[in-house]
Amino acid sequence: MHPTSSPPAAGGKASSTPGRPSGRGRRLYTVDNPRKSATLTLMTVLFTLYCLLPLAWLVVNATKSQADFVSTFGLAPGREFALWDNIVEVFSYQDGIFSRWLLNTVLYVVVGATVSTFLAALGGYALAKLDFRGKRVFLFVVLGSISVPGIALAIPQFLLFAQLGLTNTPWAILIPSFINPFGLYLMWVFTAEAVPSGLLEAAKIDGAGELRTFLRIALPLLAPASVTVLLFSFVSIWNNYFLPLIMLKDPAWYPLTVGINQWNKLGSTAGNGALVQNLVITSALLTIIPLIIAFLGLQRYWQSGLSLGAVKG
Amino acid sequence: MDRARRLDVTPTATASPDAAPDPAPARKRRRSQAGLAFIAPFGALFALVFIVPILYAAYLSLFQERLLGGTTFVGFANYGKLFKDPQFWDGVGRVFRFTLVQVPIMLFFAMALALALDSMRVHGMRFMRAAIFLPYAVPAIVSTLMWGFLLGVKYGLFGSLNDALGTDLDPFAPGNTLISIGVMVTWAFTGFNMLIFYAALKAVPRELYEAAAIDGANEFQIVRAIKLPALRGSLVVTIIFSIIGTFQMFNEPQILPTMVANSGVTTYYTPNLYAYNLAFTGSQQGYAAALALVMAAITIAVAYAVQIRGLRNASDQ
């Protein structure tokens, strides 16, 4: 996100504007530091509890053995602390297929998010700074495609990919993840705002080609935007369930989401396989930890992306 | 052809220097070729992932798979059958009802929370903002698992609750399942929508609040006169996102039956679940393709109607 439109208070604590009375000691309404409200805090805390309760439940129950899981109260710790045992068992169950699923997921996320972000930057740059035939039609179709439900598209994609012999290979997951119309849109807006055309002209006058100008001048300026688009792609690919569910038959290519549900089915009330809920819960916790780290660590990029999307959209 | 002048489609004025000097024709042609080359990778993959599948689905929807005689051309028979299929309309009706109830509740919470956080009157504001957004990072499979256990009567908290109180509440009784799914979806997406509202509020110039404060406006007047109007645009965006999201609901009803027996989730509970089951267990691919296309058309029509309405209301102001 470019510096001028990012909210000043997003990074640090709001500071009171110099030259204005700080409001301490007098009951004057100040914009940056009003009196805290107990009622508003309480209401927000209640909703926060609703948001954190399932995650707390997950953490507590990942520390329980299967026997404790079925016999102890959901939010209380079990009789033994079995988190490490559970983690070891998750990685060794079914010949260690969990590590395979984890590697698959990392492959899909790293390749998919990198390629989709680069393609979005390239395309967004072309839309904002270059000219080509059919630009308006292209924009209309791509922006229109944002409102096509992804799942309605997945079945046609499956039918086509089956014809092309791509199903049950990693390409069936990777190729659809390369295209991120919303990312292209964000990159278009970012480029128009954050990359000065004069700088590009100067580079070209100095003899740089179009590609070199893009790579050396535009791409570094687009770095904050790229992080935002990378994040959106990262989360959506990591969490993707439907596409791999229909595209893949061989468990060796499953990502974590489909794999976990496979284990969940083993222990389902309807099935008659082994009950491995402790493994399902522990693997679910392991699945969301990288996402939560990415989320909390890169929070400000979410906000800048959403603010552009919301204001311009 | 003066394509350089067309750059006015770019969203800001920073692009205008582009159009000012008239580039030499050769330079212009080069730029045009570069533009095509830059957009080509995205364009080609976009065609492969979006356009060709839709055309292929349209083609497939004209055929039916029969036990005897294989695949035969049937014209628009699949569409005729779909419009008379009570299972399809049952699913459509369910996602419509779900949207009408869940989306307003979720967006109300999202907006109230955004206003609370933006007012700076809440203790621990940064922590709670992150905590409320956090569920968005959780995959639907994990969220359905957690809520399935939490609300389940067998191992879950509701089981403990029933034991303690001697009650017989079951959030996954067939009549309650949709409400429980609403609890899950609201949990997952309120924070996302809250952040969209919050970002829009942050874009309001602070001087406006200072001016209002100097004029003696109280907090509620500022919310009514400044903040709510500033949220109009994002409200339209969030409604459209939510409609698109709920119309394609799939993960929760697909995963729930493996968690809870007798939850009342049928194979045609939502249109997408129905399409999935038709294509993969019923091997009626032509019919499933027709269903996917009709559902996409319905979704786009509703989203478009909301957008038109939203824009008209905004311009009335």
For residue range A169-215, list pLDDT tens digits in order.
Answer: 999 999 999 998 888 988 998 898 888 888 888 888 888 888 888 98
With respect to residue A279, please indicate whether it lies within any of the assigned structural domains.
yes
Residue B97 lies in a domain: yes
* CA atoms of A153 and A149, how far apart (whole Å): 7
Answer yes or no: do B114 and B177 share one domain. yes
**Inter-chain residue contact A192 with B17, CB threshold 8 Å:** no
Q: What is the pTM of this model?
A: 0.83
Which of A 179-238 lie inside 8 A of B, CB atoms? 179, 181, 184, 188-189, 192-193, 196-198, 201, 210-211, 214, 235, 238
Judged by CB atoms closer than 8 Å, whether chains meet at A153 and B134 is answered as no
Question: Are B11 and B45 within one domain?
Answer: yes
Mean pLDDT of A143-150: 73
Look at the alpha carbons of B29, B30, B32, B37 in this order and tell me if their dihedral is positive or negative.
Answer: positive
Q: Cβ B289–A155 below 8 Å, yes or no?
A: yes
- Least Cα distance to A278 among A70, A62, A99 occurs for A62
- pLDDT tens for A66-80 read 888 877 777 778 888
User: Look-up: residue for tokens 């979704």?
Assistant: B299
Do B39 and B93 lie in one domain? The reply is no
Which residues from B are below 8 Å from A264, CB to CB? 141, 145, 255, 258-259
A71 and chain B in contact, CB less than 8 A: no
- In order of A83, A256, A266, B151, the CA distances from A59 in angstroms are 9, 18, 22, 17
Q: Which residues of B130-166 are buried (b: 16+ CB within 10 A; e: fewer)?
A: bbbbbbbbbbbbbbbbbbbbbbbbebbbbbbeeeeee
Phi, psi of B64 (to 5 degrees): -125, 140
What pairs with residue B66 in β-bridges? B70
Rounded to a whole number, what is the distance in Å from the CA of B133 to chain A's nearest CA? 8
Domain membership flag for residue A307:
yes
- CA-nearest residue to A213 within chain B is B34
Tally of structural domains, chain A: 1
Mean pLDDT computed over every residue of chain A = 81
Least confident piece of the model among A278-287, A296-305, B91-100, B308-317? B308-317
A128 has a chain B CB within 8 A of its CB: yes
A75 touches chain B (CB under 8 A): yes
Residue B308 lies in a domain: yes
CA-based nearest residue in chain A for residue B18: A197
**How far is the alpha carbon of B72 from chain A, nearest alpha carbon, in Å?**
17
Check which CATH number belongs to the domain holding A195 and give it: 1.10.3720.10
Asked if B34 and B139 sit in the same domain, the reply is: no
What are the angstrom distances between the C-alpha of A272 and each of A172, A192, A245, A264, A276? 32, 58, 22, 12, 12
**Domain assignment present for B65:** no
Residue in B closest to A29 by C-alpha: B213
ipTM: 0.83
Q: Is residue B273 part of a domain?
A: yes
Q: Is A264 on the interface with B (CB under 8 A)?
A: yes
Query: Per-residue pLDDT tens for A45-71?
Result: 999 999 999 999 999 989 888 888 877
Q: Which amino acid is at B185?
A: V
Per-residue model confidence (pLDDT) at position A151:
63
The rounded distance, in Å, linking the Cα atoms of A127 and B15 is 11
Q: Containing domain of residue A118, as a range? A: 59-312
Whether B122 is covered by a domain: the verdict is yes
- Return the CATH number at B188: 1.10.3720.10
Domain count, chain B: 2
Q: How far is A108 from chain B (nearest CA, A)?
A: 15
Whether A10 is covered by a domain: the verdict is no
Summarize pLDDT for B158-210 with one digit per residue, the tens. Answer: 878 888 888 888 888 888 899 999 999 999 999 999 988 998 888 888 888 88
Domain coverage including residue B21: 3-60
| Residues B133 and B265 both lie in one domain | yes
Residue pLDDT, tens place only, B14-56: 434 444 444 456 666 666 788 888 999 999 999 999 899 989 8
Q: Tell me, yes or no, whether A43 lies in a domain.
A: no
Q: Are A126 and A192 in contact (CB under 8 A)?
A: no
Kindly tell me the burial class for residue A219, based on how many C-beta atoms sit within 10 Å of its own C-beta (0-12, 13-18, 19 or more): middle
The residue among B314 and A169 whose pLDDT is bigger is A169
Question: Is B69 a member of any domain?
Answer: no
The stretch A133-141 carries a mean pLDDT of: 87
Confidence of residue B154 (pLDDT cuts 50, 70, 90): confident
Q: Would you state the pLDDT for residue A25?
A: 47
Q: In chain A, which among 3-42 make CB contacts under 8 A with chain B? A: 5, 7, 9-10, 14, 29-37, 40-41
Least confident of A86-90, A146-150, B82-86, B116-120: A146-150
Residue B153 lies in a domain: yes
Q: Are residues B82 and B212 in the same domain?
A: yes
Q: Are residues B248 and B150 in the same domain?
A: yes
Q: Report yes or no on B67 lying in a domain.
A: no
